[in-house]
Amino acid sequence: MLGDTAGWRALAYLAAAFPLALISAAASVGFLASGLGGLTHWVWSRWLPLQAAGDGSLHRGLSLGGLFFDTVAGQLSLAAVGVVLLFVWPWVNHGFADVFRLLVGELLGLTPGARRLRDLEVSRGRSVEDADARLRRIERDLHDGTQARLVAVAMQLGEARELLGSGVAANGRGDSSGPSGPDGSGGPAGLTGESVAGGEAPRPTAVANARALVELAHAAVKGTAVELREIVRNIHPPVLDDGLEVALESLASRVPLPVRVHVELRVRPSPAIETMLYFCAAELLTNVVKHGGATHATVTLEPHGRGLRLRVQDDGTGGAQVWSPDETGRRSGLVGLAERVRPVDGRLELHSPAGGPTVATVTLPGPVA
Amino acid sequence: MTGTTVVVADDSVILRDGLVALLNRRGYEVLAAVGDGDSLVAEVERLTAAGTAPAVAVVDIRMPPTFTDEGLRAARELRTRFPGTGVLLFSQYIETRYATELLAQRDGGGVGYLLKDRVADVSEFLEALDRIADGSTVLDPEVVQQLMGAPRAEDGLARLTPREREVLELMAEGRSNGAISRELYLSAGAVEKNVTAIFAKLSLPPDAGDHRRVLAVLRFLRG
């Protein structure tokens, strides 16, 4: 109890505030009363009893060291003093208020350490949001630029490939309704020195080689497009723009076991929190599929205090661990998950007794909006 | 050459121009090419009023102004207001939810959902476009794969044999029985037998054949 800094500071505040309150009240009332009194002295002094001055003359009203103010000049000067006092009165009040503010700020407000902590929290939250916004921008740029160009190139190569005559048969599916090329042969791609078509084309070898090259380029571009799409999905899944519920449902539909999704949100979380929760759910579901031996899983997202709680539950065999480095010594995905939520003070709890079921809970204390 | 009429909506100029050029070279008639959902609906409205309703609209999902599901919303509006025009949703990414949403309001017209990459296999892509123009359903193999990979707790579907699932998967891609028999190297009779078995296991009433086909695919997609 003696170490209770806040308590001692509050006590010091009380000790200082009480006398200060008395003094400020007296001063404020004093200034107001004297100001009004001085200003109106010429009116009310006439009803005061007569007093004798040192020289025997009789006067009414205020006297200061034997000097009376019942002359015209005297009354005017008293009124002037009254005006000055009334003018100064608000400043007196402001002055005392400032002293009080200082007292409250120093003794009841945040200590420098606490203030620094609050600033750090604010700037940390801002950098989490900034990072998320930057990733979204990258995703948008890739989508509008690189991916679109890649598809356009793939389309041109695809057309070139068909014009050169390999048709779609080489692709192994669909019926060939495309135009047959100069020679119509659908042989496997490969750089050969042999003649492919009948002697009409001037340089059949060159055509065959060109076709093989186009074939390779076409396959490479298609592969690249698939890779790029996966990369983009890992940067920022576009479906998140439609809200967390849609995104989680879409996520659940890619998991090779039945997943029930239940989402209850009072307010839409900030984009960064949405991204964070999405990737947490993705990681936890991956884990369910990888280790759990589960046949069903449930994803629940609901309010928890000022924050949110994400829970992924499965009916697998249990025994999951947060810290389980694989044979290459790399950290497990769950460690990464715990790190992912740390910038917002999130916590991962894993309850996975041998024999199951496994319940993984991610709690974000909030606020999350 | 088919002469099928097409409208294209994509905000990426490179892709839109490339697609229009490709379609023109392949004998399609591109009636309009626009860059957002509202213009698409307006163009189809104008063309339909002029008596030249396009056979199919190729619609990018993510377009201005929201860059989220603009295209999907435009597609839904087209399906409701202009059932004569088939819709091919065309996207850089596949979200099964979009597919089920589009199919949920299926009303006999053609719909499709393909990854943009599919245009790389030109003839296959054009074939899909033709099937949609003819009123069929075309789904990207990846959509089908995702839905197949996530078996729902649905008795009928669970009782399908692997071969029947294969057949249903191809039905979901909008293939005819003939195309399925070629794809799976089955006789026409064997495909027919599988299809009948699928209908029976999904307890679909034996009325109009095509209607049952759609119902089977829908059941399958919704899980």
- What is the least distance, in Å, from the CA of A147 to any CA of chain B? 8
Of the ranges A81-90, A170-179, B162-171, B207-216, the best mean pLDDT one: A81-90
CATH number assigned to the domain comprising residue B155? 1.10.10.10
Residue A193 counted as domain residue:
yes
Summary mean pLDDT of chain B: 83
- The beta-carbon neighbor of A168 closest among B15, B123, B147 is B123
CATH number assigned to the domain comprising residue A268? 3.30.565.10
Question: Which residues on adjacent β-strands are paired with residue B86?
Answer: B56
Which residues on chain B are in Cβ contact (under 8 Å) with A233?
93
Q: Which residues of A126-155 are buried (b: 16+ CB within 10 A; e: fewer)?
A: eebeeebeebbeebbebbbeebbebbbbbb
Task: Assign residue A184 a region (left: φ > 0; alpha: ψ between -120 and 50; beta: otherwise).
Answer: left
User: Do A158 and B93 make contact, defined as CB atoms within 8 angstroms?
Assistant: no
pLDDT of residue B223: 55
| Claim to verify: residue B13 and residue B75 sit in the same structural domain | yes
pLDDT of residue B106: 54
Query: Diameter of chain A by CA atoms?
Result: 149
| Claim to verify: residue B102 and residue B168 sit in the same structural domain | no
Domain that holds residue A355: 239-364
B153 pLDDT tier (thresholds 50, 70, 90): very low
User: Do B97 and A253 make contact, defined as CB atoms within 8 angstroms?
Assistant: yes
Q: Which residues of B40-72 are buried (b: 16+ CB within 10 A; e: fewer)?
A: bbebbeebbeeeebbbbbbbbbbbeeeebbbbb
User: Do B14 and A149 make contact, defined as CB atoms within 8 angstroms?
Assistant: yes
B151 touches chain A (CB under 8 A): yes
- From B145, B161, B188, give the residue that closes a domain: B145
| Claim to verify: residue B45 and residue B119 sit in the same structural domain | yes
User: Do B96 and A253 make contact, defined as CB atoms within 8 angstroms?
Assistant: yes
| Claim to verify: residue A257 and residue A184 sit in the same structural domain | no
B121: its two tokens: 């296999």
User: Do A174 and B14 make contact, defined as CB atoms within 8 angstroms?
Assistant: no
- pLDDT under 70 in chain A at which residues? 1, 166-202, 292, 323-332
| Claim to verify: residue A214 and residue A258 sit in the same structural domain | no
- From B126, B145, B164, give the residue that closes a domain: B145
| Claim to verify: residue A83 and residue A174 sit in the same structural domain | no
User: Do B126 and A177 make contact, defined as CB atoms within 8 angstroms?
Assistant: yes
| Claim to verify: residue B190 and residue B114 sit in the same structural domain | no
Mean pLDDT of B122-137: 90
| Claim to verify: residue B102 and residue B12 sit in the same structural domain | yes
Which residues on chain B are in Cβ contact (under 8 Å) with A256?
149-151
The set of residues, in sequence order, having a beta carbon less than 8 Å from that of A348 and lying 6+ positions away, is: A322, A334, A337, A338, A341, A360, A361, A362
Domain that holds residue B156: 151-222
A233 touches chain B (CB under 8 A): yes
- From B128, B145, B162, give the residue that closes a domain: B145
User: Do A257 and B151 make contact, defined as CB atoms within 8 angstroms?
Assistant: yes
| Claim to verify: residue A172 and residue A244 sit in the same structural domain | no
| Claim to verify: residue B132 and residue B184 sit in the same structural domain | no
pLDDT tens readout for residues A36-87: 988 888 888 888 888 888 787 888 888 887 788 888 888 888 899 999 999 9
Classify A246 as helix, strand or coil. Answer: helix
Nearest to B92 by CA among B175, B10, B21: B10
| Claim to verify: residue A218 and residue A246 sit in the same structural domain | no
pLDDT tens readout for residues B25-50: 999 999 999 999 999 999 999 999 99
Residue A51 counted as domain residue:
yes
| Claim to verify: residue B192 and residue B167 sit in the same structural domain | yes
- What is the least distance, in Å, from the CA of B50 to any CA of chain A? 32
- Of all residues in chain B, the percent with pLDDT exceeding 90 is 36
| Claim to verify: residue A100 and residue A80 sit in the same structural domain | yes
A303 touches chain B (CB under 8 A): no
* B160 compared with A342, residue with greater pLDDT: A342
Residue A119 counted as domain residue:
no
pLDDT surpasses 70 at B108: no
User: Do B62 and A238 make contact, defined as CB atoms within 8 angstroms?
Assistant: yes
pLDDT of residue B17: 94
Place of tokens 């940390």: A124
Mean pLDDT of B63-87: 88
Residue A115 counted as domain residue:
no
Nearest to B95 by CA among A247, A274, A144: A247
| Claim to verify: residue A181 and residue A230 sit in the same structural domain | yes
Dist CA B223 CA B218 (whole Å)? 8
B125 pLDDT tier (thresholds 50, 70, 90): very high
How many distinct structural domains can be found in chain A? 3
- What is the least distance, in Å, from the CA of A182 to any CA of chain B? 16
pLDDT surpasses 60 at B219: yes
* CA distances to A299, B73, B179, B220 from B156, in Å: 25, 32, 25, 9
Q: Which residues of A23-32 are buried (b: 16+ CB within 10 A; e: fewer)?
A: ebeeebeebb
Mean pLDDT of B68-72: 86
pLDDT of residue A10: 87
User: Do A155 and B22 make contact, defined as CB atoms within 8 angstroms?
Assistant: yes
Residue A117 counted as domain residue:
no
B70 touches chain A (CB under 8 A): no
